[in-house]
Structure 1
Amino acid sequence: MVNHCPSLLNGKVFMEWVGPAVLKAYQWQVNALETTYREISDIYDTSEVRGLSEDCIKKLPECTFKSDNNIVEQCCLASSCAICLQDFKDGDSMRKLPHCGHYFHLSCLDKWLATNGSCPNCRNSVCDDNDV
């Protein structure tokens, strides 16, 4: 067994046991999966970043959460950030989306909007060309 350890580690035993036809079929499947992913990526433009500009993000309304002013209850929203799933606490910096009125932690939403141009909750567009 000791004599076979190096061949096990470098794959030599595997290559000897597996016939060329099986290996060729495996390689074809792997290549097909990679091609399919590339095609889907092209169809849905998943490789393109659709985030908002920093200027657009900075123009969105900001506020500070205070439990006594019930910002969340006034807007009929959950008491937690839908991005990080943490509860809002007194003193948390928040940002409100203008079209849908959803609130999120400022830092969470800024990171989200840098790569996505829609609300994390309802997927409504955040900024139109002439908005904010």
Structure 2
Amino acid sequence: MFGISWGEFLVLIVAGLFILGPERLPGAAAWLAKGVRQVRDYANGAREQLRSELGPEFDELRKPLEDLRQLREFNPKRAITRHLLDDFPEDTGYKPNGFPAATTPPTNQREEQRPLSPGERPPFDPDAT
């Protein structure tokens, strides 16, 4: 509906019952629905008026707004992963990070770890500390 889940909607109804009471809640819901409908009608009317006045330039005006809408759905983790690990759209043979594209998926080069025997010391890497 308005970006809220059913659980949140139920909490709003219960809060409305406590705040407004059962007598005034239906009237308040009708008033809210009427207000939302009126705002939606105003927005649609303004859009249609702009479309009729600007003509084909209206679509050019909407393009940057669509780009901004896509930014709202931007996921930085997915974008970084895509740019670092995926290939360029062009078949250049190089990834965006400058390294040659791998022809085969990398294998797990880490050897299997076995549990330590009693009294055995864990491996030590002086360069890692």
Q: Same fold by TM (over 0.5)? A: no
- Relative to total residues, which structure has the larger helix share, 1 or 2? 2
Tell me: higher relative CO, structure 1 or 2? Use CA pairs within 8 A at least 6 residues apart.
Answer: 1
TM (normalized to structure 1)?
A: 0.25
Which has the higher Rg, Structure 1 or Structure 2?
2
Give the TM-score, by structure 2 length.
0.25
User: Which has the larger share of strand?
Assistant: 1
